[in-house]
C-alpha cells in the first residue's frame, strides 16, 4: 500500500472517530429558577438561554430530588438521592457533610471508560476522592466569585479545557455557575445577589465580558410565592441583574464550544440545583422549591424548540449521560432509580402514572427538617418527619429583604401580602397532600380528608417503596426505629416507638 493511500485511510478513520465521538457539557445554575424568556418571563433578558432552548427539548415538569445545594449536586453527580449517597446537608464550612466513601460518582464512572472529565465553577460536594475530575478549577483552588461569577474568567478556563482536549477522546465538562445565588450573608458589599460584583463601580472590580442590565422594581414579574411589596420587588430586580450575568456567561461558554469545533458532537444539559432563594422556594419540597428549568440539546435529536410534559427528575441526569456515552451502570448494590431522558428527545412518552420523588434532610447543620415527597401529574404527598418543630430558615435567606419584609410585617401585625401566613409556613402537618390540578400553589392540605384516603394510601405506598429501594435511613421515622443489622441484616424491620406520631 502506498504512503498516500495509507495517509488517506488514516485520515478517514481519524475523521470518522472524531465525528462519532460523543461529548457532554452540563451547565448548572445556582438557585436558578424560571426567570427567562423560554419560561414566559417577559422582563428579564436571557437571549443566550433562550437561543439554547430553541435547539433543545424544553422540560416543563422537571424537579430536583432535594432543594438544597450540596445534596442536589451530589444527586446530580451520582444519580442517587442525598439520603442514599450520604450528602445530607451542605458541604462547606461548619456544615461539613460528605457523601459516603463507597459512592462512585459520574465523573469517576466516565473516567474509567476513557472519558476526560472537567469541572469549572461551583463544586460544593465531597469528599474529593469521590468527586475527582481530570481538570478542576473550583472553589477548592480559586475564589468562588472568580470561577462562579466572573464570566470572563470562566470563559478563559473553558477555553483552556478545550485547547488541551484530545480530539480523539470524549469529554464531560461540568460548569457550576454561582449566579444567581444570594450573597448578602457572605459578601454584602456586592449587593444581595452580588449584582454589583464586577460592574465597574469603585471597589466592585470589572468583568470585561459582562454588560450589566438593571431592572426597575415596578417592572419585574413576581412568582406566586413572592409577596407583592416594594422590598420583594427590589429583591427580584437584583436577582434579574445576576441572571443576566449568568445568561451572558452561558453565551460565552457556548461560543467557546463552537469555536473549538466540539459543538457538532456534544450533548448540552442546562438546569439548576434547586428553586430560587425566596419565601416558599429553596429548601422546600413544594413545587416552588423543587421545580427547575431543564433543557437538553444534542446535534441529531428530532425534537428541538419543543416542550415535554413528562415528569423528569435531576436523578435522571446520570443515567442520561451514561446512556449518551453508551456506558452501562453496573453497581447492583446501589441501583439507579432515575431513567435516561434520551428517548424523549425524539418522541413524547407521557405516562399518566409517572412519579418523581424528593428527599430532603438538612440544608445548614442547624436546619434538621427531614421531608420525603412523591409527585404525580395530579397529586403530591409530602411527609414532614420533624413536623413538631418549626420549619427552619437559613442564614442568607433570613437576611434577605423579602424575608425581613414578611417577618417584620408579621411581628407588627401588618398585612404581609404573602400567599401563606408565617405561622403556617413554620408549623406544618406531618402529612401534606395536594391536588395539583385544583391547587397548584399547594395551599390546601387534603391529607386528612376522608374522600382522599385512597389517593393518600396509594401515594404513601409508592413513597415507602422508593425509600426502601434507595435504602433510606429515615424509612421508619418518626414513629419507629429501623433495625437493619445483626439479627435483622437480611430482613430489616421497623419497630414502633409508641410516641403518638
Rounded to the nearest 10 degrees, what angle do helices 47-54 and 230-259 cross at? 60
Q: How far apart are CA 226 and CA 203, in angstroms?
A: 32
Q: How far apart are CA 456 and CA 459, in angstroms?
A: 5
Q: How far apart are CA 400 and CA 279, in angstroms?
A: 10
DSSP state for residue 259 in the 8-state scheme: H
194 is catalytic: no
Residue of 69, 183, 194, 476 with catalytic role: 69
Q: How far apart are CA 73 and CA 370, in angstroms?
A: 18
Query: In the beta sheet, which residues pair with residue 133?
Result: none
As given in the structure block, the three cell numbers for residue 226 are 413572592
CA dihedral 418, 420, 423, 426 (to 10 degrees): -110
Between CA 146 and CA 152, with CA 148 as vertex, the angle to 5 degrees is: 60
As given in the structure block, the three cell numbers for residue 389 are 418543630
**How far apart, in Å, are the Cα atoms of 400 and each of 274, 394, 403, 453?**
18, 10, 6, 40
The answer to whether 393 and 199 are in contact (CB under 8 A) is: no
DSSP state for residue 206 in the 8-state scheme: B
Q: What is the radius of gyration, based on Cα positions, of the chain?
A: 23
The answer to whether 118 and 172 are in contact (CB under 8 A) is: yes
189: CB partners within 8 A, 6+ apart? 196, 203
**How far apart, in Å, are the Cα atoms of 16 and each of 187, 259, 301, 333?**
50, 20, 20, 38
As given in the structure block, the three cell numbers for residue 223 are 412568582
As given in the structure block, the three cell numbers for residue 181 are 445565588
Q: Sheet harboring 431-435: ordered strands across?
A: 356-360, 371-375, 379-384, 431-435
Annotated catalytic sites, by residue? 69
Amino acid at each position: 500500500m502506498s504512503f498516500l493511500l495509507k495517509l488517506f485511510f488514516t485520515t478517514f478513520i481519524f475523521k470518522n472517530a472524531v465525528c462519532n465521538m460523543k461529548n457532554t457539557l452540563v451547565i448548572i445554575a445556582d438557585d436558578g429558577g424560571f426567570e427567562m424568556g423560554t419560561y414566559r418571563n417577559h422582563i428579564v433578558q436571557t437571549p443566550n438561554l433562550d437561543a439554547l432552548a430553541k435547539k433543545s427539548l424544553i422540560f416543563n415538569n422537571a424537579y430536583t430530588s432535594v432543594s438544597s445545594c450540596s445534596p442536589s449536586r451530589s444527586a446530580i453527580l451520582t444519580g442517587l438521592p442525598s439520603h442514599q449517597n450520604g450528602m445530607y446537608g451542605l458541604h462547606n464550612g461548619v456544615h461539613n457533610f460528605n457523601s459516603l466513601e463507597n459512592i462512585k460518582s459520574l465523573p469517576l464512572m466516565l473516567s474509567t471508560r476513557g472519558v476526560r472529565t472537567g469541572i469549572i465553577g461551583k463544586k460544593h460536594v465531597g469528599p474529593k476522592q469521590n468527586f475527582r475530575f481530570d481538570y478542576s478549577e473550583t472553589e477548592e483552588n480559586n475564589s468562588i466569585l472568580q470561577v462562579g461569577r466572573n464570566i470572563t474568567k470562566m470563559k478563559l478556563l473553558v477555553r483552556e479545557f478545550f485547547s488541551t482536549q484530545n480530539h480523539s477522546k470524549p469529554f464531560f465538562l461540568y460548569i457550576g455557575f454561582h449566579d444567581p445565588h444570594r450573597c448578602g450573608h457572605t459578601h454584602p458589599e456586592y449587593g444581595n445577589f452580588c449584582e454589583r460584583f464586577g460592574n465597574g463601580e469603585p471597589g466592585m472590580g470589572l468583568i470585561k465580558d459582562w454588560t450589566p442590565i438593571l431592572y426597575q422594581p415596578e417592572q419585574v414579574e413576581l412568582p406566586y410565592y413572592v409577596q407583592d411589596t416594594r422590598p420583594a420587588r427590589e429583591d427580584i430586580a437584583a436577582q434579574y441583574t445576576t441572571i443576566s450575568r449568568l445568561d451572558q456567561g452561558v453565551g460565552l461558554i457556548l461560543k467557546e464550544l463552537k469555536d473549538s469545533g466540539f459543538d457538532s458532537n456534544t450533548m448540552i444539559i442546562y438546569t439548576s440545583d434547586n428553586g430560587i432563594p425566596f419565601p416558599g422556594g429553596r429548601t422546600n419540597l413544594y413545587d416552588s422549591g423543587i421545580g427547575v428549568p431543564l433543557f437538553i440539546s444534542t446535534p441529531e435529536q428530532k425534537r428541538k424548540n419543543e416542550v415535554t410534559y413528562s415528569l423528569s427528575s435531576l436523578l435522571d441526569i446520570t443515567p442520561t449521560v451514561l446512556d449518551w456515552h453508551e456506558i452501562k451502570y453496573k453497581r447492583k448494590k446501589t441501583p439507579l432509580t432515575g431513567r435516561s431522558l434520551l428517548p424523549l428527545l425524539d418522541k413524547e412518552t407521557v405516562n399518566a402514572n409517572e412519579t418523581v420523588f424528593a428527599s430532603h434532610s438538612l440544608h445548614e447543620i442547624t436546619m434538621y427538617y427531614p421531608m420525603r415527597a412523591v409527585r404525580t401529574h395530579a397529586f403530591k404527598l409530602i411527609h414532614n418527619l420533624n413536623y413538631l418543630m418549626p420549619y427552619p430558615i437559613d442564614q442568607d435567606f433570613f437576611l434577605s429583604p423579602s424575608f425581613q419584609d414578611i417577618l417584620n410585617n408579621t411581628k407588627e401585625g401588618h398585612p404581609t401580602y404573602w400567599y401563606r401566613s408565617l405561622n403556617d409556613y413554620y408549623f406544618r402537618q406531618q402529612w401534606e397532600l395536594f391536588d395539583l390540578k385544583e391547587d397548584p400553589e399547594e395551599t390546601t392540605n387534603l391529607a386528612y380528608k376522608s374522600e382522599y384516603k385512597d389517593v393518600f394510601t396509594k401515594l404513601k405506598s409508592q413513597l415507602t417503596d422508593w425509600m426502601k429501594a434507595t435504602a433510606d435511613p429515615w424509612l421508619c421515622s418518626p414513629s419507629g426505629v429501623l433495625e437493619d443489622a445483626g439479627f435483622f441484616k437480611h430482613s430489616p424491620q421497623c419497630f414502633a416507638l409508641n410516641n403518638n406520631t
